[in-house]
Structure 1
Amino acid sequence: MAQRSEYDARHLSVLEGLEAVRKRPGMYIGSTDSRGLMHCLWEIIDNSVDEALAGHASTISVVLHPDDSVEVSDDGRGIPVDVEPRTGLSGLEVIFTKLHAGGKFGGGSYNAVGGLHGVGASVVNALSARLDARVTRGGKVHQMSFRRGEPGTFAGSRPSPEAEFSPAEQGSPVEVVGKARRGVTGTSIRYWADRHIFTPDARFDDEELTNRARQTAFLVPGLRITVRDERGEEPVEEVFQYDGGIGEFADFLAGDSPVTDIWRFQGHGGFTERVPVIGDDGQSHMQDVQRDCEVDIALRWGTGYDPTVRSFVNIIATPKGGTHMSGFEQAVLKTFRKVVADNARKLKAGNDKLEKDDVLAGLTAVVTVRIAEPQFEGQTKEILGTPAAKQIVSKVVEKELTQRLTATRRTEKQQANAVLEKVVSEMKSRISARMHKETQRRKNALENSSMPAKLVECRSKEVESSELFIVEGDSALGTAKLARSSDYQALLPIRGKILNVQKASVSDMLSNAECAALLQVIGAGSGRSFDLEAARYGKVVLMTDADVDGAHIRTLLLTLFFRYMRPMVEEGRVFAAVPPLHRVEVIHPGRKANEVHYTYSEAELTTMLADLEAKGLRYKEPIQRYKGLGEMDADQLSETTMDPARRSLRRIRIEDAEAAERVFDLLMGSVVAPRKDFIIEGSKALDLERLDV
């Protein structure tokens, strides 16, 4: 019989002040791993950036110290240190110890800013083993220290979270530690993240910090941001300052050849918002407030196919979009549809309708809006929820883009014609690909078997346990047939090097026999329509030769998976086989059978031979070196590459989709110059003996 459980008022918990933050940190920073640690840093940096946006700061410095602390300094007005009347505490203590407190709730100190929830500094303070705030203001240098959100004093001259701590009395004043020159103001925050809260492997990512600093410098023209990492043997410092704003940012993001120049769309619109306002009686009343939304967009079309669109609200990135992105995409599509329809005969567009993917192909855009007190979905601020932003952005884009596409000046008209032709070409390619796919489906439905004849199928129908080996050439296929386990291992041979799909259209990819066969065998579709649940195999193993050609073929195959079957890679279901390079047969005297060892690199072979000589063991010469899988017999291939009990596989993963996109575009894209530079630079580390020439 189940036990009865009591539940009354004495079982309820009431968390006071910052205690709630330490109890449930995920509610405020999303997670307690490196992502949450970086989110805390963004909260402090964004406060400094807000000072720059308000026109009171021109420099920001971020220093990663060797003792695992981070320091953010600016030359803004400095956090207020006088007494806040309602609490009787200094402004500095209020900001760092009270949730939903600060100067961004409509008090007139800030207009369009990123930190609007009033929890940034206080949450970082609550999750820090130690935080030191130093404010230069009014000719004096003020300082206040906190331990896990509690104000007090640390002993010793060397700052450390382990130093002896003495809690402060209620309402104790801010300590004055020095004097400052007249007119010098600013804030410096140094804190040590509490390792009792964050996971042991959580660390500050210098690359992510650098990218964010560069991005912010683009978004706030003239702002100088210095990032200094002192954790290594030698300090590394980078300085970012851009006067060109988001126009320069769009040019930086664009990785393809331009079809148009950078186009800048600017405008604004007003809207009424009903918000709660606290009156003189201390009660909250709903009141209509007039807001203004400023829109600033920089965009250009290039020769590539993939869009790169970044969106921001008050310089806060919104990677998952929101109402401003909905308005942008809606206006771009609506305007292109209208202009193309008006010029359908000239563009030979027919009666077909443009889709969003057609107009966004090759687009690089930076979409920014500035709104007082924007509504975000969640504290992580990844999605803008302010409804009025959609209509305002849409009107600005529709007006400005229409003027560009219907311009009569010679240069502008040439660019408009070029982008219109590109968009119509994308539409025709999409329609052609769809027709090709439908034709292929109808053809397959009439055939007895929908699978390619060269597929060597396995008997198992269980997706989780089945494996598809993509083998290079017919010679390797013959050996692989004998080496495989026919119960769960299927084989698909490919001839030579498949199409480089990074710089080919969808229709060209579907027309390629090898690409089409591979998509058909996987059986889950391609691109946006790819359905991982429909995939016919649990693992896909790329089994190519251990030479330069094999590496090239593997790269081409990975490009196909990355562009058209990315969920397979994201789920870790794509592998690369690791065949050996050498076979060493150790000779044993007498009746004892000889031993066979396999090595996978020249370094490993050298080490093994040295070890055998040290033990006085002999080996057969010449040592067999495999140039291809076809040189192995079935037993050797099974033992080294196909038998799950003894083989080695390299799982292909995408840890950073954006970085992977850049690498694929560099190695396989249509722009040659960066790839040439990469090859020349990498040739210095190339072992010439590995080339089969």
Structure 2
Amino acid sequence: LQNPQFEGQTKAKLGNSEMKGLVESVLNEKLTEYLELHQDVARAIINKVIEAKRAREAAKKAKELVKSKGLIENGILPGKLADCQESDPSICELYIVEGDSAGGSAKQARNRKTQAILPIKGKILNVEKSRDERVLSNQEIKSIYLALGVNPGNSDRLRYHKVIIMTDADVDGSHIRTLLLTLFYRKMPGIITNGNLYIAQPPLYKIKLGNKEIYAKDEEEFEKIIINRGIERIQCIVGNALLKGTELRKSVEALRNLERYFREMERAGINKNIILSLFQTDICRRADFDKQEKLMRLRAQLEKIGYEVEILKDREHNLFSINIIEPVKKSKTKVDYELCTGDDYIEAYRQYKEIKDFYEKEIRCMNGNIETSVSSTEEILQLINEKGKEGINTQRYKGLGEMNPEQLWETTMNPEKRSLMKVSIEDAVEADQIFTVLMGNNIETRRMFIENNALNVRNLDI
């Protein structure tokens, strides 16, 4: 080398650029040759490189996490928060609402002295699947932390002792509510365990009767209002017995419960006629499967209406069971003591015994001077439902934004009239498992949960 150039005072490094390529080429060739002959050394070097990379990433994430927590600790209140005037947390409430539309109505409806409103935009991040630094960098979640005045895992400085989730009654509203519950359960559990978290119960229906308006918070309450109104307008003659008022109301309630049970059994693959035949032959105990006597009566009754029935002996339990083949679809149903001694079956059997005349005798309904013959219990319930809906206007709310501020205050935000559901964790282990299954990354586990619980769904909104 004609003109060597060294870097720095120590002269430890050659600085000639034309030598760089030559040195790298020789080093690469010899190092590759060495590492191929000494694979243990190669593995050790690779592991060191991987460890160094992980350490750099962990340090970066820790720095971001500290920075995010610092922003929350020292941050100002979010701009979209409409705060309340009081500063005493024990009398202050925060409504977390879905979207600017509902937020606008809620801000006008609220009591400015004690009620604060925080609108959130769309569906927040699913914290079950996210690391802390990503959670704290999410703008909507950061706004919630700032509004509440708390840090992840520490709710000692909570600014409101009532935190109320208020979302729409549709599918999106349910999803947003679930994501918020996941956030509180995973990142702010103290708010739940201290009894500070609530879910608002806005009405699902508005019913207008002339100049009078009443609200129903859910399908069940709506149906109850309609049924009660229908019962006021008709009387039923069952056999020779006249039923009206309180007596008819009690019977109709039992009828509705029974028909609901029959629908559940239909979804499970057991026909209503089979259950009715079991009730009518008084099969409701394990002892009824010890001998064939009652099962023979059941077979005779089912064969009259076209079913094929075979009685089987269960050698393992020394009990009988029956297989029932449906006349049209030829589907097979097994009936054994486990079905006929379950709690739901026994309760349905008890209610059937109270109102069995509705299933066994002639029924006529009177509306003033007009008499109508009905051929089934479904027809009775349909007639009562129709009479209950006559002369009323019904509105089903899909979103909180559909209500004007006065309606929202009257139904959902007025402490003297509203209905709130407190969120509690009675069984922390079970709650943890459900959140992990439904909100986690394991698709197969979630699929199995949905398949196993699909028949228990109520009020599915599609």
TM-score (norm 1): 0.36
**Which residue of 2 is the match for residue 656 of structure 1?**
427
Q: What is the CA-CA distance between 1:610 and the residue it aligns to? A: 2.1
Are the aligned partners of 1:584 and 1:624 in contact in 2 as well (CA < 8 Å)? yes
673 and 428 in structure 1: CA distance in 2 versus 1, 3 angstrom threshold: farther
1:568 equivalent to 2:339? Answer: no
Question: Post-superposition shift, 1:345?
Answer: 4.1
Matches within 5 A, 1:40-119: none
Offset of residue 618 of structure 1: 7.4
Structure 2 residue 69 is the aligned partner of structure 1 residue 452: no
Q: CA deviation at 1:580?
A: 1.0
Cα distance in 1 for partners of 2:66, 2:436 equals 25
What residue is the counterpart of 2:87 in the other structure?
A: 461
1:645 aligns with 2:416: yes
Q: 1:438 to 1:602 in 2, by over 3 A?
A: closer
Q: 1:620 to 1:430 in 2, by over 3 A?
A: farther
Which residue in 1 is equivalent to 2:406?
A: 635
Q: Deviations over 1:186-237 (max 9, x none)?
A: xxxxxxxxxxxxxxxxxxxxxxxxxxxxxxxxxxxxxxxxxxxxxxxxxxxx
- Structure 2 residue aligned with 1:691: 461
Match of 1:521 among 141, 147, 158: 147
Cα offsets for 1:8-35 (capped at 9, x unmatched):
xxxxxxxxxxxxxxxxxxxxxxxxxxxx
Do the aligned partners of residues 453 and 574 (structure 1) sit closer, same or farther apart at CA in structure 2, a change above 3 Å counting? same
Of residues 37, 41, 50 in structure 2, which corresponds to 1:346? 50
Write out aligned runs for 1:250-261 (5 A): none
Distance in 2, matches of 1:438 and 1:486, equals 30
Residue in structure 1 matched with residue 300 of structure 2 by the alignment: none
- Tell me the SS of whatever aligns to 1:534: coil
| Residue 607 (structure 1) aligns with | 224
Gaps of 5+ in 2: 1-43, 234-387
Match of 2:115 in 1: 489
Which whole-Å CA distance do the structure 1 matches of 2:60 and 2:430 have between them? Answer: 30
Q: Distance in 1 between matches of 2:164 and 2:390?
A: 33
User: Does residue 557 in structure 1 map to residue 180 in structure 2?
Assistant: yes
Q: Distance in 1 between matches of 2:457 and 2:172?
A: 15
> Relative to 1, partners in 2 of residues 1:428 and 1:685: Cα closer, same or farther, differing over 3 Å?
same
Give the number of the structure whose residues are more often helix, by fraction: 2
Measured in 2, the distance between the counterparts of 1:509 and 1:434 equals 13
Counterpart-to-counterpart distance in 2, 1:349 and 1:482 = 53
Distance 1:439 1:486, change over 3 A: closer
C-alpha change, 1:649 and 1:441, in structure 2 (3 Å) is closer
Residues 430, 506 of structure 1: 8 Å contact kept? no
Give the C-alpha shift of residue 633 in structure 1: 1.3
1:295 corresponds to which residue? none
**What are structure 1's unaligned runs of at least 5 residues?**
1-339, 353-423, 445-449, 588-593
- Name the aligned partner's letter for residue 647 of structure 1: R
- Listed one character per residue, the Cα deviations across residues 378-418 of structure 1 (whole Å, up to 9, x for unaligned) are xxxxxxxxxxxxxxxxxxxxxxxxxxxxxxxxxxxxxxxxx
Once the two structures are superposed, the pairs formed by residues 154-233 of structure 1 within 5 Å of their partners are none
Check 1:440–1:613 CA distance in 2 against 1; reply closer, same or farther (3 A cut). Answer: closer
What CA distance in whole angstroms lies between the structure 2 residues aligned with 1:678 and 1:621?
41
Contact in 1 for aligned 2:128/2:439 (Cα 8 Å): yes
| 8 Å Cα contact 2:72/2:145 also seen in 1 | no
SS at match of 2:185: helix
CA distance, structure 1, for counterparts of residue 161 and residue 180 of structure 2: 17
**Take 1:343 and 1:618, find their aligned partners in 2: how far apart are those partners?**
74
Percent sequence identity is: 39
Please say if residues 429 and 505 of structure 1, whose CA atoms lie closer than 8 Å, have aligned partners that are also in contact.
Answer: no
On the 8 A contact 1:473/1:493 being kept in 2, the answer is: yes
**Does the CA contact (< 8 Å) of 2:209 and 2:392 recur in 1?**
no
Distance 2:71 2:167 in 1: 32
Contact 1:479 1:633 in 2 (8 A): yes
Cα deviation digits, residues 536-567 of structure 1 (max 9, x gap): 11110000011221111011001111111110
Q: Is the 8 A contact 1:524 1:535 kept in 2?
A: yes
The equivalent residue for 1:679 is: 450
What is the CA distance between 1:631 and its match in structure 2?
0.9
Instruction: Decide whether aligned partners of structure 1 residues 622 and 520 sit closer, same or farther in structure 2, where only a CA change above 3 A counts.
Output: same
Structure 1 pair 643/491, CA: closer, same or farther in 2 (3 Å)? Answer: same
1:428, 1:563 → 2: CA distance?
Answer: 23
The corresponding residue for 1:433 is 65
| 1:332-411 → structure 2 map (5 Å cutoff) | 345-348=49-52
- Pair 1:567–1:439, CA change in 2 (3 A): closer
Distance (whole Å) between structure 2 residues aligned to residue 618 and residue 683 of structure 1? 31
Conserved? CA contact 2:73–2:151, under 8 Å: no
Q: Give the TM-score, by structure 2 length.
A: 0.54
Query: What is the distance in 1 between the residues matched to 2:214 and 2:48?
Result: 69
Q: Distance in 2 between matches of 1:506 and 1:686?
A: 33
Q: Distance in 1 between matches of 2:72 and 2:415?
A: 36
**Residue type of the alignment partner of 2:50:** K
Mapped contact 1:584–1:620 kept (Cα < 8 A):
no
Change (3 A) 1:681 1:454: same
Task: Give the superposition deviation at 1:347.
Answer: 1.6
Distance change in 2, residues 1:426/1:567 (3 Å): farther
Deviation at 1:684, TM superposition (A): 2.4
**Richer in strand (by share):** 1
2:395 aligned residue (624, 627, 651): 624
1:429/1:506 contact within 8 Å kept? no
Query: How is 1:278-297 mapped onto 2 (pairs within 5 angstroms)?
Result: none
Look up the equivalent residue of 1:536 and give its one-letter code: R
Q: Distance in 2 between matches of 1:515 and 1:556?
A: 11
Equivalent in the alignment of 2:10: none
Aligned residue type for 2:150: A
Q: Deviations over 1:556-597 (max 9, x none)?
A: 00111111111000011000001111111223xxxxxx3322
Once residues 661 and 428 of structure 1 are traced to their aligned partners in structure 2, the CA distance between those partners, rounded to angstroms, is 30
The residue type paired with residue 583 of structure 1 is: K
| 1:440/1:584 CA distance change after superposition, 3 Å | closer
Aligned AA for 1:648?
A: S
- How far is 1:505 from its partner? 0.5
Measure the CA separation in 2 of the matches of 1:671 and 1:430.
27
SS in 1 for 2:89: coil
* 2:161 is the counterpart of 1:538: yes
Q: Structure 1 pair 486/620, CA: closer, same or farther in 2 (3 Å)?
A: farther
For residue 458 of structure 1, give the secondary structure of its aligned residue in structure 2.
coil
In structure 1, the partner of 2:249 is none
How far residue 661 of structure 1 moved from its aligned partner, in angstroms, is 1.2
C-alpha distance after superposition, 1:143-173 (max 9, x if no partner): xxxxxxxxxxxxxxxxxxxxxxxxxxxxxxx
Separation of aligned partners in 2, 1:467 and 1:620: 39
**Is the CA contact (8 Å cut-off) linking 2:170 and 2:461 kept in structure 1?**
yes
- Tell me the distance in 1 between the aligned counterparts of 2:198 and 2:423: 6
Shift of 1:637: 0.9
The reply to whether residue 480 of structure 1 matches residue 111 of structure 2 is no
Post-superposition Cα deviations, 1:509-544, rounded to whole Å, max 9, x if no partner, equal 0111101110111112112xx1x3311111100000
> What is the rounded CA distance, in whole Å, between the counterparts of 2:205 and 2:421 in structure 1?
19
Distance of aligned partners of 1:595 and 1:508 in 2 relative to their CA distance in 1, 3 Å threshold: same
- Paired residues, what number? 265
When residues 428 and 659 of structure 1 are mapped into structure 2, their CA distance, relative to the original with a 3 A threshold, is farther
Residues in 2 aligned to 1:459 and 1:619: alpha-carbon distance in whole angstroms: 47
- Aligned ranges for residues 321-336 of structure 1 at < 5 Å? none
**Greater relative contact order structure (CA < 8 Å, 6+ sep):** 2
CA distance in 2 between counterparts of 1:625 and 1:672 reads 34
